[in-house]
Amino acid sequence: MSYELIFDVKRGDFDTAGEASRKIKRTLQQLGVSNKVIRKVSIAGYEGEMNLAIHSSGGKILLEVGEEELVLTIEDSGPGIANIDLAMTAGWSTAGDEVRQMGFGAGMGLPNMKNNADNFQISSKVGEGTKIVMKFLV
Amino acid sequence: MENLLHSVYLDEEKCLGCTTCLRSCPTGAIRVRGGKAIINESKCIDCGECIRICPHHAKLAKTDPLSKKDNFKYTVAMVAPAIIGQFKPKYSIDQILSAVKALGFDEVVEVAYGAEVVGQALKYEYHAKRYPRPLISSACPAVVKLIQVRFPELTDNICRLKSPMAMTARLVRKRIREEGNYKNGDVGVFFITPCAAKATMVNNPSSSEYDKYDQIDGAIAIKDIYSDISSQISTCPIQEGIHNTTPESCTWALSGGESDYLKNKNVLHVDGIQNVINVLEEIECGKLDTIEFFEGLACIGGCVGGCLTVENNYVAKMYIQDRTKTMKQTSIVHMPDEYVKSIYNSGMMHIKERILPRSPEPLDQDINKAIEKMRQIEILEDKLPGLDCGSCGSPGCRALAEDIVAGKAKEIDCVFILKDRVRDLSVLTNELLQVEHPTEKPLIKRE
């Protein structure tokens, strides 16, 4: 049996940013997922949520809970990443000053997601969007 | 007092079942059932929010009466630093401490003394390899329990130095033992407490923090002896020099007091349980990765805001700050570093066991069954009005849905669903009244 949770994240919506991650954490606790895995999913989920709010033109977070693994998919509808290797470099960010002043945009988002997931895949096309699929072993 | 897991309890006679407390509880530990509030022991963190908010004063903290000291040959009152914020600065600290002693104690010591030891040892503990960052203060027992219950992934971050209260007890007992006049068992050590969470620590024997050398025999609420202290304060003989602690250690009663001991570190201090929760959420998702030390205190302002204090917390803060300003002009000898280091290295400052998570129970041990229950909860949540009014006795619609699935509540506990059912029933009743039964005589005689 698997379970799904889906969240819409709008660009620039910092009032609700973090809500999806909080809900994901609580849900996983109630499903009896171990604290260690919850922590990893929380960090990756929060980074993903922030990326959607800061960099994308809006997108979705999908959590699928299965018996053996958790899949967290973060998908947006643009603008897409031109150079994924560069974007994956720690410290590299396209975030503007305003966002950096809020404590975001340090360029740790994607590397952080990759470090916390057991399997990390990213695909992106400029003008179309980015899709990140992260798997976590339960 | 019996051995308790918690100090917060309900006076059933006073409780009207009004539901005011439900939503003030940061861990959702309260339900109203059968017209009375019920506290879930496994979720309660003794923060005292319900004590503060209850309009009928039905929530209380179990503490010890002053008379408990009569069971001992030699008695020591250990006063929390918060006490010096309870009285106007025109009374000297020596005067306040003398008034406490005049209640019948053989000796009065300041917990600020233990705070100085712990505060100075913090710089050594900070470098211990076992901690992930940020290191989290263990000073507030309600916050420690909050982390165990709501942020179980952060329990390894919690500092394992004993509290100033426990250290003070230990050092006082050590001194009395060395003086050789009393056996350890004849000495009664009492903590004059600003809050319920500390009272639980004192009275909870399962706490791994203690052994018989730092045993505290009772917790007496500041507010319970406030009037007695007030009536002594102007008339009792003043014993000069009881107060011998540093201004820094006295500010442990305020948010940030502990953090000040870690010079040149990125520290963040936060007070008020909801604010602490908000920041812990950010720590948990990795956002605050530059913070090196986090001090969270459950009460607004810090311990001066404890639910067992008397003075307004902002006024108390002002009094303490006024006092510490003048204290700095007098010269109090700071504790030598070698002394602190020797205590630190002796191992007596450390809590022996790990602080373990107290994660809430999952919906089911079997993940498939848990998923099934989660779906039922979501279906129910959609049916409920989403107003979180609390009339059902659960703290919100989601909580009611969870309670129903757990078999602890019924759908018609929701007044809106009940109203719909009554309406449906009345429609049905009307319909049935219209129908004539073959054997029934007609209501209106036909021509």
Q: Can you give the residue range of the structural domain that contains A38?
A: 3-137
pLDDT at B297: 97
pLDDT exceeds cutoff 60 at B427: yes
| Model confidence band, residue A100 (pLDDT cutoffs 50, 70, 90) | low
**List of residues 6+ apart from A132 with CB closer than 8 A:** A48, A73, A74, A75, A110, A113, A120, A121, A122
| Model confidence band, residue B3 (pLDDT cutoffs 50, 70, 90) | very low
Question: How far is B58 from B17, CA to CA, in rounded Å?
Answer: 10
Query: Structurally, how many domains does chain A consist of?
Result: 1
Interface touch B362/A31, C-beta < 8 Å: yes
Question: How far is B21 from B14, CA to CA, in rounded Å?
Answer: 13
The answer to whether residue B445 is domain-embedded is no
The answer to whether residue B312 is domain-embedded is yes
Last residue of one domain, picked from the residues B279, B313, B346: B346
User: Are residues B105 and B13 part of one domain?
Assistant: no
The answer to whether residue B354 is domain-embedded is no
Interface touch A35/B284, C-beta < 8 Å: no
CB A132 within 8 A of CB A75: yes
User: Are residues B382 and B315 part of one domain?
Assistant: no
Interface of B with A in 101-120 (CB under 8 A): none
Match 């909050």 to its residue by tokens.
B146
Could you report the per-residue pLDDT of B337-366, keeping only the tens digit for each? 899 999 999 988 998 888 888 888 899 999
Residue B306: HSE in the Cβ half-sphere, 13 Å Cα cutoff: 29
**Chain B contact for A38 (CB, 8 A cutoff):** yes
Interface touch B371/A103, C-beta < 8 Å: no
The answer to whether residue B358 is domain-embedded is no
> Residue A5 to residues A27, A75, B390: CA-CA distances in angstroms?
9, 14, 26
Query: Structurally, how many domains does chain B consist of?
Result: 3
User: Are residues B73 and B163 part of one domain?
Assistant: yes
- CATH number of the domain bearing residue B430: 1.10.15.40
DSSP designation for B4? -
DSSP designation for A34? -
- CATH number of the domain bearing residue B18: 3.30.70.20
Kind and range of the H or E run holding B225: helix B222-233
Kind and range of the H or E run holding B202: helix B196-203
Could you report the per-residue pLDDT of A79-96, keeping only the tens digit for each? 888 888 887 776 666 666
Collapsing DSSP states into helix, strand and coil, what is residue B69? Answer: helix
The answer to whether residue B356 is domain-embedded is no
User: Are residues B402 and B328 part of one domain?
Assistant: no
Last residue of one domain, picked from the residues B311, B346, B381: B346
User: Are residues B232 and B186 part of one domain?
Assistant: yes
Q: B123 to chain A, minimum CA–CA distance in Å?
A: 27
pLDDT at B4: 46
Question: How far is B245 from B258, CA to CA, in rounded Å?
Answer: 15
Question: How far is B189 from B215, CA to CA, in rounded Å?
Answer: 7
Question: How far is B214 from B351, CA to CA, in rounded Å?
Answer: 12
Could you report the per-residue pLDDT of B35-72, keeping only the tens digit for each? 999 999 888 999 999 999 999 999 999 999 999 999 99
How many percent of chain B have pLDDT more than 70? 95
Residue type, A56: S
User: Are residues B268 and B161 part of one domain?
Assistant: yes
Match 């719909």 to its residue by tokens.
B420
DSSP designation for B157? G
User: Are residues B186 and B73 part of one domain?
Assistant: yes
User: Are residues B229 and B182 part of one domain?
Assistant: yes
pLDDT at B182: 94
Q: What is the dihedral of CA A63, A69, A75, A81, to 10 degrees?
A: 150
The answer to whether residue B270 is domain-embedded is yes
**In terms of Cα–Cα distance, which of B40, B27, B35, B78 is closest to B58?**
B35
Q: B132 to chain A, minimum CA–CA distance in Å?
A: 13
The answer to whether residue B72 is domain-embedded is yes
User: Are residues B306 and B340 part of one domain?
Assistant: yes
* Dihedral sign (CA B279, B283, B287, B293): positive
User: Are residues B77 and B182 part of one domain?
Assistant: yes
Residue type, B440: E
pLDDT exceeds cutoff 50 at B211: yes
Q: Can you give the residue range of the structural domain that contains B217?
A: 66-346
Please provide the average confidence, as pLDDT, over all residues in chain B. Answer: 91
Interface touch A3/B375, C-beta < 8 Å: yes
- CATH number of the domain bearing residue A87: 3.30.565.10
CB B73 within 8 A of CB B182: yes
User: Are residues B277 and B245 part of one domain?
Assistant: yes
Diameter over CA atoms, chain A: 45
The answer to whether residue B442 is domain-embedded is no
Question: How far is B447 from B427, CA to CA, in rounded Å?
Answer: 30
Q: Which of A14, A29, A30 to mutate: most B Cβ within 10 Å?
A: A30
pLDDT at B383: 95
Q: B361 to chain A, minimum CA–CA distance in Å?
A: 7
Interface of B with A in 279-338 (CB under 8 A): 281-282, 284-287, 289
User: Are residues B15 and B35 part of one domain?
Assistant: yes
**Chain B contact for A21 (CB, 8 A cutoff):** yes
